[in-house]
Structure 1
Amino acid sequence: MTCRCRCRRACCGSFRSVAFSRWGGGELYPVDIRLVSATNRTLRDQVQAGHFRQDLYYRISGLNIELPPLRERTDKHALVQRIWERHRDPHQRAGFSREVLELFEHHPWPGNIRQLNSVIQVALALADDQPITTDHLPEDFFLDAGLDEQRSDRQTAGVVQDRLQNTDDLNDLLQAAGGNISQLAKRLGVSRNTLYKRLREQQGGET
């Protein structure tokens, strides 16, 4: 909730008197309201810094509900499904690849749910009736993922290790890459030798 000082004074006056007057008028009109306000700032800190009126803060501070940023939410998968259901056409039933869902889970999401909405809408438009893969994600999605490079590297490494240990995942990825070992190794961020070794372990040395 951000507003100019004059507006804050007017709000305080209305809340205190439980009445308001029209602009330029003198007659007071009684009101019975319940106020819902939202802000992306910590108002208590703003009060202490002198940027927000203390009396107004205590008049509007009733039941406070803190919504964590998208990157900290544990229900991202459910959110993705709801947004996908809302925006998809009836013929779009394929959903997301596992790789995309993992990227969604670990993305920093600086634009929060608005960004998730936008990414899914773009992906649906590009994928048509095909499963949504990384090829359908906008470039900004990957640029934003590089903003916190150290964190991204740790998370990506964890995802890659999980993939290398999961036979079904690795086989699916290899099939999606058209059997191209070099392409798959590049996508996973590992060397060809590492990928060959893991495939040989899975396939009993037949690769």
Structure 2
Amino acid sequence: MKVPPEITYRNVEKTDAIDTLVNEKIAKLEQVCSYISSCHIAIEKINDRPRSGSPYRVRIDITVPPGHELVGESNPTEDTQYEPLNAVIRDAFNAARQQLVKLTQRQHESDKSVSREIDRETTALVTKLFRDRGYGFLKTLDGQEIYFHSNSVLHDDFERLEVGTGVHFFLGQGEEGPQASTIKIIDKPGVRVGKSEQTLIEPPLDWKE
């Protein structure tokens, strides 16, 4: 997780047992999706003496690039057998995990679809980088802006990218529109190799570094 999870307790005593349970459940979410960008957890007591159900409510808000927001919540109602806090926490994380599994499956299917729809290798320049969030944008030589995720950069080279780096990539269609995959670094725009006078990649006409 790029940003440490935020855990809020309201009218609930934070104990080592509860803290350990929450962190174990967070780790299991990260096993499902390793690129979660944020996770906010609210644990609160909303009723001191319920006749049934539970006095507790747990809500988990998760953000997954490129802009998916998921909510897992557990607030046992009066027609539910009384549940202690640890059970409510597990229920909320189970709900969040189910949504996360479905999202990552859709993203993987989308990636497969993109691979099937690849027409050609395309050249572009990196125009925007959000290192802490693990994604960025490319601009093709015809001026089209394309989203990419760090996982799509070959050889774990995401950290080597800079604004202005020239790349080759395959263009496909993701859930949010055009998306780059199989990104391979070429060089900086205008850089020449050896004694060759041929420029590796010419910047778009409106390029500004």
TM-score with structure 2 length normalisation? 0.23
TM-score with structure 1 length normalisation? 0.23
Going by fraction, where is strand more abundant, 1 or 2?
A: 2
**Of the two, which has the highest radius of gyration?**
1
Going by fraction, where is helix more abundant, 1 or 2?
A: 1
Higher relative contact order (CA 8 A, sep 6+): 2
